A = this chain, B = another copy of it.
Amino acid sequence: MRADARRNREKVVAAAAAAFAESGLDTQVEDIARRAGVGVGTVYRHFPTKDALVGALAEDHFERLADTVEAALEEPGDAWETFAATIWRIASTIASDVAWCEIVGGHPTAIQTASQGQHRLAAATSTLLARAQEAGAMRADVTFADISTIMCGFGHIAAAQRAGAALDWERYLTIALDGLRAR
């Protein structure tokens, strides 16, 4: 790969990440290209479609989330506290990026491919969940699918909040986590 091509690819990825984080997945390809200082043709040489670009960035996000959760598995301490703190950490990371909120919330444009990162994330979260249940701190009937559902709702609410809706994802999470606790 030619040196200028590599350089341009990096500029595109950086510009796309910034633009999506700021304005969401509806950001136009032309805006990303302008931000990167290249033409749209260049964006398309590196990524066959806009979805592929979103997918590449999303996978990167999921890998980093998986790292976070796997790191939490190593830490000692109360199982419930670890679970809750991890959810909060993940949520605030996601909430800082509009596109990420939309992806987690299930925006139609987003990739649904069960990727490497998503698998790791699911596995680590399931373990965290199981530990909290074994400790008797979490309702026994909760499954990983429930956590997915709650996080899907979270993503949507956070995205809407960023878009100006009178919603509060922190209150949402507080209530949802309380609903997960054992009585």
Residues of A participating in the B interface, judged by any CB pair closer than 8 Å: 105-106, 139, 142, 145-146, 148-150, 152-154, 156-157, 160, 165-169, 171-172, 174-180, 183
Which residue of the partner chain B has the closest CB to A175?
Answer: B179
Nearest-Cβ distance from residue A122 to partner chain B, whole angstroms: 12
Nearest neighbor of A172 in chain B, beta-carbon distance: B149
Q: Which residues in B have their C-beta under 8 angstroms from that of A183? A: 183
Q: Judging by beta carbons under 8 Å apart, are B177 and A148 in contact?
A: no
How many identical chains are in the complex?
2
With a CB–CB cut-off of 8 A, which chain B residues contact A145? Answer: 166-168, 171
Write the chain B residue with the least CB distance to A108.
B163
Q: What is the chain B residue whose CB lies nearest that of A173? A: B179
Q: A146-B171, A148-B167, A149-B168 are in contact. List 17 more A-B contacts (CB 8 A).
A: A106-B156, A142-B175, A145-B167, A145-B168, A146-B172, A149-B169, A150-B172, A152-B156, A153-B172, A156-B156, A174-B179, A175-B176, A175-B180, A176-B176, A176-B179, A178-B178, A178-B179
- Cβ B175 vs Cβ A150 within 8 A: yes
